[in-house]
């Protein structure tokens, strides 16, 4: 059955879609952005023109013209009696965003492969024959790798045994396993606002009702609001990135870690701490891991940000009883983590000091370069300078980043508009720009953004952005 996007859901996803240009064109452009970045799935059926016009409080003529524009551009198929169905040009299907195919792609907060990665692969290849007697279906992780990961937590002051670790196919896979295990229909999940987009995708796919935990560059986490949400709604789980949060780059302070952990412990809410960015320290220094404050905290880790995105190795650190439940559920999603990649990960864990030092140098250079470029070319933007992570979270003032994304795409630059990181269309005036690129790429990208922002211009807000949270 073709999935239907209701008028209410589309209205929420559209957020503040109006610009200074024709309303029909602005509406068509926003639907196209939602389709391209994966918030709307190709193959989904849009609401009827009359239904959407009532929800948006615009004329039916405006909606009809927007649909016609989408059809003319190849993003909408209309069949009499079947409604209007979203489509990606070229016949591509699915809910994932397309590869941009553009000269500059700033849509991914990722870095080039660690220089020592090729050597780690070669060493792993030499050792692989010793493991070929293994059946290859490894549902928990090689003992050597689990020991290495447990040792990493021990070095951070968190007592961890190897059987408290499950190796996964990346942290996103680990989050899917945890959501499948911890969440039941009708329950709530507390999520930072803004947050990692694919976490929102995971929870939406599970049908979860998401509660917002506001995070801002000015004041950090609204811990008091989170405590109130936990006490009143008792969510089954809460998803946090306490170290170099994506997209803001902020870190939750020690007091906030203690208060959130205590609130979750009281109500039985499981805190899922995503530490995929925890190694990306530039200037901050060490903070105690969130799991050191409560046994109710489960940790996600990964080598993807540190070593290379193509190395799909992550892990879950948690109580043995919880991991046993995850293990029972896991065969429904996959049949184990590849052995060869685990051997590579073992080599990298042994090289961790050199790996983190190398990444830190590159991130500092990229961050400082990008901050200087923005101050030179777009000084009116409010740039928060993080002490770690891989990106800047920028307040553009009055520039619609969805409109900016379309204008930049026309000039060869792919960016992700702010609403992709939030719920219900929030953060239209915010933009994440990763800085783990070469100085030349960053310079080209900022110049395109400067030119595109002048073309997009400014438009007044209909309501304060934070009112949506």
User: pLDDT grade, residue 400 (50/70/90)?
Assistant: confident
- Whole-number pLDDT of residue 455: 85
User: pLDDT grade, residue 462 (50/70/90)?
Assistant: very low
Q: What is the pLDDT of residues 344-378, one digit of tens each?
A: 999 999 999 999 999 999 999 999 999 999 999 99
Cα distance between residue 64 and residue 377, in whole Å = 39
Q: Peptide bond preceding 194: is omega within 30 degrees of 0, i.e. cis? A: yes
Q: What is the pLDDT of residues 103-160, one digit of tens each?
A: 899 999 999 999 999 999 999 999 999 999 889 899 999 999 999 999 999 999 999 9
Structure pTM? 0.82
Lowest mean pLDDT among 28-37, 236-245, 393-402: 28-37
Q: Where are the domains of the chain?
A: 7-86, 104-113+354-468, 117-350
- Decide: helix, strand or coil at residue 461: coil
Please give the class, per CATH, of domain 104-113+354-468. alpha beta
Helices (H) and strands (E) in the chain, counts: 15, 16
pLDDT at 423 exceeding the cut of 90? no
- Whole-number pLDDT of residue 18: 79
Helix residue ranges per DSSP H, 73-190: 117-127, 143-155, 171-182
The stretch 457-462 carries a mean pLDDT of 46
- Whole-number pLDDT of residue 284: 96
CB atoms closer than 10 angstroms to residue 77: 15
User: pLDDT grade, residue 37 (50/70/90)?
Assistant: low
Nearest-10 crossing angle of helices 117-127, 339-350:
130
Which among 458, 454, 450, 408 is positioned nearest to 428, based on CA atoms? 458
Pairing outcome for strands 165-168 and 104-105: unpaired
- Whole-number pLDDT of residue 457: 65
117-350 to CATH, choices 3.60.9.10, 3.30.70.980, 3.40.50.620, 3.40.640.10: 3.40.640.10
Q: Which residues pair with 64 in a beta bridge?
A: none
**Domain 7-86 belongs to what topology?**
Arc Repressor Mutant, subunit A (1.10.10)
DSSP letter string over 138-154? -SS--HHHHHHHHHHHH
User: pLDDT grade, residue 87 (50/70/90)?
Assistant: confident
More confident residue, 195 or 25: 195
- Whole-number pLDDT of residue 424: 72
Q: Highest mean pLDDT: which of 317-321, 418-422, 456-460?
A: 317-321
User: pLDDT grade, residue 288 (50/70/90)?
Assistant: very high
- Whole-number pLDDT of residue 97: 41
Q: What angle do CA 279, 280, 285 make, to 5 degrees?
A: 80
CB-neighbour burial class of residue 332 (10 A; exposed 0-12, middle 13-18, buried 19+):
exposed
pLDDT at 39 exceeding the cut of 80? no
Contact 196, 274 (CB under 8 A): yes
pLDDT at 255 exceeding the cut of 70? yes
User: pLDDT grade, residue 5 (50/70/90)?
Assistant: confident
DSSP letter string over 325-370? HHHHHGGGT-S---HHHHHHHHHHHHTHHHHHHHHHHHHHHHHHHH
User: pLDDT grade, residue 460 (50/70/90)?
Assistant: very low
Q: Which long-range contacts (CB under 8 A, 24 or more apart) does 448-451 make?
A: 448/104, 448/408, 448/411, 448/412, 448/413, 449/377, 449/378, 449/404, 449/408, 449/413, 449/415, 450/377, 450/378, 451/411
């Amino acid at each position: 059955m073709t999935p239907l996007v209701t008028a209410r859901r589309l209205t929420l996803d559209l957020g503040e879609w109006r610009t200074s240009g024709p309303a029909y064109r602005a509406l068509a452009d926003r639907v196209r952005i939602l389709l391209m970045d994966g918030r709307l799935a190709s193959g989904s059926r849009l609401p009827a023109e009359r239904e959407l016009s009532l929800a948006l409080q615009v004329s039916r003529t405006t909606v009809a013209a927007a649909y016609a524009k989408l059809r003319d551009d190849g993003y909408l198929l209309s069949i009499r009696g079947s409604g209007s169905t979203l489509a990606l040009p070229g016949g591509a299907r699915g809910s994932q965003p397309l590869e941009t195919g553009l000269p500059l792609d700033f849509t991914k907060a990722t870095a080039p492969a660690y220089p020592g990665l090729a050597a780690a692969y070669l060493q792993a290849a030499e050792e692989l024959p010793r493991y070929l007697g293994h059946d290859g279906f490894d549902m928990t992780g090689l003992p050597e790798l689990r020991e290495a990961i447990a040792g990493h937590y021990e070095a951070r002051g968190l007592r961890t045994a190897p059987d408290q670790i499950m190796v996964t196919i990346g942290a996103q896979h680990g989050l899917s396993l945890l959501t499948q295990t911890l969440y039941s229909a009708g329950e709530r999940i507390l999520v930072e606002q803004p947050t990692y987009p694919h976490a929102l995708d995971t929870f939406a796919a599970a049908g979860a009702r998401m509660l917002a935990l506001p995070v801002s560059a000015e004041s950090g986490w609204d811990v008091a609001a989170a405590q109130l949400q936990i006490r009143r709604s008792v969510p089954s789980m809460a998803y946090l990135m306490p170290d170099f949060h994506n997209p803001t780059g902020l870190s939750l302070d020690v007091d906030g870690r203690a208060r959130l952990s205590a609130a979750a412990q009281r109500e039985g809410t499981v805190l899922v701490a995503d530490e995929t960015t925890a190694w990306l320290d530039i200037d901050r220094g060490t903070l105690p891991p969130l799991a050191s404050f409560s046994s109710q905290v489960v940790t996600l880790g990964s080598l993807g940000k540190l070593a290379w995105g193509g190395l799909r190795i992550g892990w879950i650190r948690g109580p043995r009883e919880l991991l046993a439940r995850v293990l029972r559920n896991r065969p429904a999603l996959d049949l184990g983590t590849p052995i060869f990649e685990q051997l590579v990960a073992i080599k990298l864990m042994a090289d961790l000091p050199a790996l983190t030092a190398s990444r830190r140098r590159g991130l500092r250079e990229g961050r400082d370069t990008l901050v200087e470029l923005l101050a030179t070319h777009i000084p009116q933007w409010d740039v928060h300078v993080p002490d770690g992570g891989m990106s800047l979270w920028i307040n553009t003032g009055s520039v619609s980043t969805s409109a900016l994304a379309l204008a930049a795409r026309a000039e060869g630059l792919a960016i992700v508009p702010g609403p992709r990181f939030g719920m219900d269309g929030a953060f239209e005036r915010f933009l994440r720009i990763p800085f783990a690129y070469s100085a030349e790429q960053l310079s080209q990208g900022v110049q395109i953004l400067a030119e595109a922002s002048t073309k997009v211009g400014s438009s007044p807000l209909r309501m304060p952005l934070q009112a949506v949270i």
